[in-house]
């Protein structure tokens, strides 16, 4: 049994840990305070990094769903499931760090700005997906339903994006993605801190994915073992 290795600190996990130490230092100490917002701005390093992971996870749900419908291998369903759960976690984090920053800077916890609205809708689709997972056990084809929902949700992203963007705007212009080139609107230190933070959160996402998928596979294993015991007891 290879199960003992599951409990050791994996190299990826260690890398994540180091990444977080470095990111925290870069974001909280090394990067200069923002001219207008001061130290409050520092939450951005975590807010933007988690927002990126939340969207990455969502796209991953869609891709895994497509492959699942095509190949019908349990692993792809597990991948979509894990990605949705962890993506939901990150999306929730985005929804918490946003208002924390918004209150002192905008003077309000919440406003119906395109990006906030976008995150909210994304979050709700994650909720729908996970609810269908949680309460769909009575349905024999629940895995296909989930895959279809995952695909439709991913196809929906550009539409939600444009609909909310045209609807209204207040969010600070994203300084990393301006026309003058990547990161041109930012101090170099800030940009580096943001990139390191984004990489760290991405690594953590994959680390959590590995753990979550291993857990799901163990559940499957337990299920088959239980079934085997039951048939033996009956027989």
Q: Cα separation of 81 and 133, whole Å?
A: 8
Closest C-alpha among 60, 163, 86 to residue 117: 163
- Which alpha helices (H) appear in 26-141, and where do they start and end? 44-71, 74-106, 114-135
CB of 57 to another protein, least distance (A): 16
Q: Cα separation of 116 and 91, whole Å?
A: 11
Query: In terms of CB distance, is 72 or 103 closer to another protein?
Result: 72
Could you tell me which stretch among 11-19, 80-88, 101-109, 151-159 binds another protein (CB under 8 A)? Answer: 151-159
Place of tokens 């933070």: 197
Residue 212 tokens, joined:
């979550």
Closest C-alpha among 21, 20, 82 to residue 57: 82
Q: Is 156 in the site for another protein (CB under 8 A)?
A: yes
Q: Cα separation of 73 and 220, whole Å?
A: 13
Q: Which helix (H) or strand (E) holds 18?
A: helix 11-25
Q: Which of 94, 149, 186, 198 binds another protein (CB under 8 A)?
A: 149
Q: Is 139 in the site for another protein (CB under 8 A)?
A: yes
Query: In terms of CB distance, is 40 or 121 closer to another protein?
Result: 121
- What would the x/- binding string for another protein be over residues 57 to 76, using CB under 8 A? ------------x-------
Counted residue by residue, the chain has a size of 235
Binding residues for another protein, total number by CB under 8 A: 31
Q: Is 235 in the site for another protein (CB under 8 A)?
A: no
Query: In terms of CB distance, is 42 or 81 closer to another protein?
Result: 81
Closest C-alpha among 20, 12, 24, 10 to residue 200: 20
Query: In terms of CB distance, is 119 or 200 closer to another protein?
Result: 119
CB of 90 to another protein, least distance (A): 17
Could you tell me which stretch among 49-57, 76-84, 98-106, 132-140 binds another protein (CB under 8 A)? Answer: 132-140
> Do the bridges between strand 181-182 and strand 177-178 make them parallel or antiparallel, or are there none, so unpaired?
antiparallel
Q: Is 186 in the site for another protein (CB under 8 A)?
A: no
Could you tell me which stretch among 16-24, 76-84, 159-167, 175-183 binds another protein (CB under 8 A)? Answer: 159-167
Q: Which of 145, 171, 172, 202 binds another protein (CB under 8 A)?
A: 145
Q: Cα separation of 182 and 156, whole Å?
A: 26
Residues found near another protein in the complex (CB under 8 A): 69, 121, 124-125, 127-128, 131-132, 135-136, 138-141, 144-145, 147-149, 151-153, 155-156, 159-160, 162-164, 166-167
């Amino acid at each position: 049994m290879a199960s003992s290795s599951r409990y050791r600190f994996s190299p990826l996990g260690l890398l994540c840990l180091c990444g977080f130490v470095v990111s925290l230092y870069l974001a909280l100490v090394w990067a200069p305070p923002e001219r207008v917002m001061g130290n409050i701005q520092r939450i951005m390093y975590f807010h933007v990094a988690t927002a990126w992971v939340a969207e990455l996870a969502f796209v991953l749900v869609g891709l895994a769903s497509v492959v699942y419908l095509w190949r019908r291998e349990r692993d792809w369903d597990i991948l979509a499931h894990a990605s949705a759960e962890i993506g939901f976690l990150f999306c929730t984090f985005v929804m918490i760090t946003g208002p924390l920053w918004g209150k002192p800077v905008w003077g309000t916890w919440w406003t119906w700005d395109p990006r906030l609205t976008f995150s909210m809708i994304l979050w709700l689709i994650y909720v729908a997906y996970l609810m269908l997972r949680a309460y769909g056990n009575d349905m024999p084809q629940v895995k296909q339903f989930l895959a279809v929902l995952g695909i439709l949700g991913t196809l929906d992203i550009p539409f939600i994006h444009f609909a909310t963007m045209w609807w209204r705007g207040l969010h600070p212009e994203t300084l990393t993605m301006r026309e003058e080139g990547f990161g041109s609107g930012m101090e170099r230190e800030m940009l580096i801190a943001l990139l390191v933070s984004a990489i760290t959160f991405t690594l953590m996402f994959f680390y959590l994915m590995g753990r979550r998928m291993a857990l799901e596979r163990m559940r499957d294993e337990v299920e088959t073992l239980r079934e085997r015991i039951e048939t033996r007891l009956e027989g």
